[in-house]
Structure 1
């Protein structure tokens, strides 16, 4: 995995990362403030894809924008485009996890010509707070209010959160505790969880919750009209993006495939092999669909015929 800097549309310096594996390019829209370690199987040559991704504004080496209000969904989409453009990639499969699902979906809505296929993992394309904690049977409007209030409260006490998380030891013991917390489940490789948490706990938590509030305000998105192949992977025990809310937006799309796994929100850690399997299948579907569309296009007219009005072409050929 290699890191590099790119410049987004508003001039913000974004720290990107990539793998140099052989295979088709895939753009990975990350979960909020997460690192490459969350995707252990995608970093291996056996994944069969080259991954492009980045770190969110103000995290993990990416700069904060001069105008700190430039952290809306459109700004994250601009960062995604900057990563693609810097790599010289015009069109590719796009995948996302958690908040990254919102970015991937918005990228496809605004720039369908850049997206050949979509893979959503444990996330929703909008109404982030409304998708939380639905397993408890609480009405969506109440869940949304609780999540919003809680995030504001955490932002207010961010110095306390920093003092705790910046100094808590991250080791096999604490990683195992995290895997039994309910937000995460046992099953992921403990060493990978340690590597993930070690960097994640070092965030500036006031900024982190500021980012969360900015994207949490995005309402539910309508995906009707997307025609590229889509795969949705949802965690059966996901407390942050319920399977119902994760799968509903694609339920009426003709090219959608849905799979519910016995995982938590941390699906990429708990089912890494499934991620690679489904991504491989999606890439095959994309190739099949694009080949079918190519065959369905009307044949190009002869260059000479292009100079002759269509109504005269047939008769002209007869006379010749």
Structure 2
């Protein structure tokens, strides 16, 4: 995997990354503030696909925009297009995890000619905070303001949160404890978890929550009209993205395949073999559809 700079449509410098494996190109719309190592199935030379992606504005080496308001959903979609253009890719399979599902879905809605297939992993295409805690049975009318209030509290106490999380020791032991917390589940290699969590905790948390709150205002999306093959991987024990909400979002699509996986929100880490299997199946489906359309 190598990193490089990409210039966004509004001039913001983004830090992009790509793998150098052989195979069809896949654009990865990442989870908010996540790293390539969160996708162990995709960063290996044997993955069978070449992944292109980027880090969100103001995270992991990408600059914050000159206009602080340029962090809406359409800005992230423009960044996805910029990453494709920089790689010389006109059309490809697009996958997303967590908030990346929102970006991938919106990219397909706005630029259908750029998207040949979609893979959604543990995410919803809209109503971000409406999907949090849904698996616990808490009504949406309660959980939206609850989660929004919690996020605003973290932003207000950003300096204190940084002071604590930046000093938190992260190793195999703490990773294993996290995997038994309910927020995550066992299944992933503790070393992979430790590596991902260590970098994740280093965020500027005031900015991180600002990014999340900007996306929280996006309402639920009607995906009717998306005609490419779609695969949804819903995490059965996901406390961040309600699997029921995710499933209902794609129910209207004629070429949707749904698979419920017994993982937490961290499906790419906990079930990398499922990611690889379903991605290769989606690539094959896309090839069949595109041959039939010629």
* TM-score under structure 1 length normalisation: 0.91
**For residue 178 of structure 2, what is the aligned residue in structure 1?**
178
**For residue 50 of structure 1, what is the aligned residue in structure 2?**
50
Rounded Cα–Cα distance in structure 1 between residues aligned with 2:68 and 2:60? 17
Rounded Cα–Cα distance in structure 2 between residues aligned with 1:143 and 1:198? 28
> How big is the shift at 1:135?
2.2
**For residue 315 of structure 1, what is the aligned residue in structure 2?**
none
Rounded Cα–Cα distance in structure 1 between residues aligned with 2:189 and 2:72? 34
Rounded Cα–Cα distance in structure 2 between residues aligned with 1:158 and 1:128? 21
Give secondary structure in 2 for the equivalent of 1:75: helix
**For residue 40 of structure 1, what is the aligned residue in structure 2?**
40
> How big is the shift at 1:137?
1.8
Moved over 2 A (4+): none
Query: Where in structure 2 are the equivalents of 1:170-209 lying within 5 Å?
Result: 170-209=170-209
1:190-248, CA deviations, whole angstroms, 9 ceiling, x for partnerless residues? 01001101111100000000000001111001100000000000110000111101111
Rounded Cα–Cα distance in structure 2 between residues aligned with 1:59 and 1:181? 26
Aligned length: 294
Rounded Cα–Cα distance in structure 1 between residues aligned with 2:97 and 2:31? 5
Rounded Cα–Cα distance in structure 1 between residues aligned with 2:176 and 2:217? 33
> How big is the shift at 1:45?
1.7
Rounded Cα–Cα distance in structure 2 between residues aligned with 1:9 and 1:136? 40
Q: Which runs of 5+ in 2 are unaligned?
A: none
1:38-82, CA deviations, whole angstroms, 9 ceiling, x for partnerless residues? 001100122100000000000000000000110000000011000
Rounded Cα–Cα distance in structure 2 between residues aligned with 1:178 and 1:217? 29
**For residue 239 of structure 1, what is the aligned residue in structure 2?**
239
Query: Where in structure 2 are the equivalents of 1:1-320 lying within 5 Å?
Result: 1-294=1-294
Rounded Cα–Cα distance in structure 1 between residues aligned with 2:181 and 2:30? 22
> How big is the shift at 1:146?
0.6
* 8 Å CA contact retained: 2:19, 2:51: yes
Rounded Cα–Cα distance in structure 2 between residues aligned with 1:183 and 1:216? 20
Give secondary structure in 1 for the equivalent of 2:246: helix
Rounded Cα–Cα distance in structure 2 between residues aligned with 1:124 and 1:33? 17
Backbone CA RMSD of aligned residues: 0.6
1:137-158, CA deviations, whole angstroms, 9 ceiling, x for partnerless residues? 2211111111111111111111
Q: Which runs of 5+ in 1 are unaligned?
A: 295-320
> How big is the shift at 1:181?
1.6
> How big is the shift at 1:258?
0.1
